[in-house]
Amino acid sequence: MTRRPVNSRYTWGASGMKKGRIILTGLGVLALVIASACVRGALYPKYPKKAWQPTAGPWNARAPLAGATLCIDPGHGGEGRFPKEVYTGGTKGVVSGQTEGAVNLRVAQYLQQDLRLAGAKVEMTRTEDVRCGQAPDRHAELLCRSDFSNAKNCDVFISIHHDFTPTDIPGFRPERLRASRAYIAPGDELSLPLAQNIVSALSQGLGTFNKGVMPSSLVVLKNARMLAVLVEVSPLNDPEEDQRLSRPEYNQKAARAIALGVLNYLRVAQSRDIAFREVFPPSSSELDSQVAADESYVRAGLEKRWTFSGLECDEVLYGIRGEIRQRRFLRPSSRFREEPAFALIDLVHCE
């Protein structure tokens, strides 16, 4: 029996199979690199953040924000006037029916007053119950806010919100419904201490549970070219909190807490002395501003230690006098966990 000759042009053989696997592996790696770059571009800040530079000239402890420009963004606005496809939404109070946009605006206006008392120039993305700009769709309406702060060359961007906390999730704790939280763009190391001090001051000032700081790829955060924080002051689906939020004096209290958080950031980042009692003169109805600032001040750090299992790392929160307020173990396999608050996320490495 005569065997038909093998056509080498159509036969891989062992060498050809090996080359094919190498090519396929290379293409797979290339695809992963491209996909990783795309994901990173979608999640991480589009522009590098600029640091908040110290004020030029002599320091004025009575006007610590002199020379700084801060942008305050009252989230949402104009609820009910626009179709959902062109509007970013917002929640409502479960008892009062008040819109989140209206509450955000009240807090933002009080915050504007407080920051001006501290010497800052303040820009507002909106000053009435309207959307930001005349954007044709939801994405453009969100871009309007960060574009506004970029155009004004602001040093800080703070977006004010009040959330609707889900209560039907596994592990939900009713005592933690009334909580405050802050968000920063993933990898935004510069904004982390600002966000930490703002949410700490809100928790201390309002008596809310501190949910700390979390990374988020929200457009308003990743497109802002300066320090950027989105603050969820407290939830509108807590009936008692909803009623509190309908009172202007409570909105003013929240605004003062945010302002104290901003000034505490200066103490953390620039080691500045601030005359809190002169910036915010105390009254009989308010907590002493110096006491409130000292009680809410936080500075985060890492402590390394060697154990039988190798190098381990603790995240430590220090208070105004250097005392340790909180300590937690950072697992090597997980750079971020929600509890307890103040995770350093993926910004620092213990290695």
Q: Are 155 and 68 in contact (CB under 8 A)?
A: yes
| pLDDT beyond 80 at 11 | no
Rounded CA separation 284/281 (Å) = 10
Average pLDDT over residues 281-288: 75
More confident residue, 346 or 329: 329
What 83-92 contacts at long range (C-beta under 8 Å, 24+ apart), as own/partner pairs, is 85/137, 85/138, 86/135, 86/136, 86/137, 86/138, 86/141, 87/131, 87/138, 87/141, 88/131, 88/138, 88/141, 88/142, 91/162, 91/163, 91/164, 91/236, 91/237, 92/236
Confidence of residue 315 (pLDDT cuts 50, 70, 90): confident
Average pLDDT over residues 273-290: 86
Average pLDDT over residues 191-207: 94
DSSP 341: S
- Average predicted confidence (pLDDT) for the chain: 81
For 100-104, 141-145, 243-247, 340-344, which range has the lowest pLDDT when averaged over its residues? 340-344
| Beta-strand runs (E) in the chain | 69-74, 121-124, 156-161, 179-184, 209-215, 227-232, 299-307, 310-318, 324-330
Average pLDDT over residues 282-298: 86
More confident residue, 297 or 141: 297
| pLDDT beyond 70 at 12 | no
Rounded CA separation 104/255 (Å) = 10
Residue at 6: amino acid letter: V
| pLDDT beyond 60 at 39 | no
Average pLDDT over residues 92-117: 96
For 30-34, 98-102, 175-179, which range has the lowest pLDDT when averaged over its residues? 30-34
| Dihedral angle over CA of 330, 334, 337, 343, nearest 10 | 50
At residue 177, the pLDDT reads 84
For 4-18, 23-37, 181-195, which range has the lowest pLDDT when averaged over its residues? 4-18
At residue 283, the pLDDT reads 73
DSSP 10: G
| pLDDT beyond 60 at 188 | yes
At residue 331, the pLDDT reads 53
Angle between helices 192-206 and 248-270 (to 10 degrees): 140
How confident is the model over 228-238, as pLDDT tens digits?
999 999 999 99
At residue 83, the pLDDT reads 62
More confident residue, 338 or 207: 207
Confidence of residue 313 (pLDDT cuts 50, 70, 90): confident
Instruction: Please name which of 229, 213, 239 lies closest in space to residue 160, comparing C-alpha atoms.
Output: 229
- Is the pTM for the entire model greater than 0.85? no
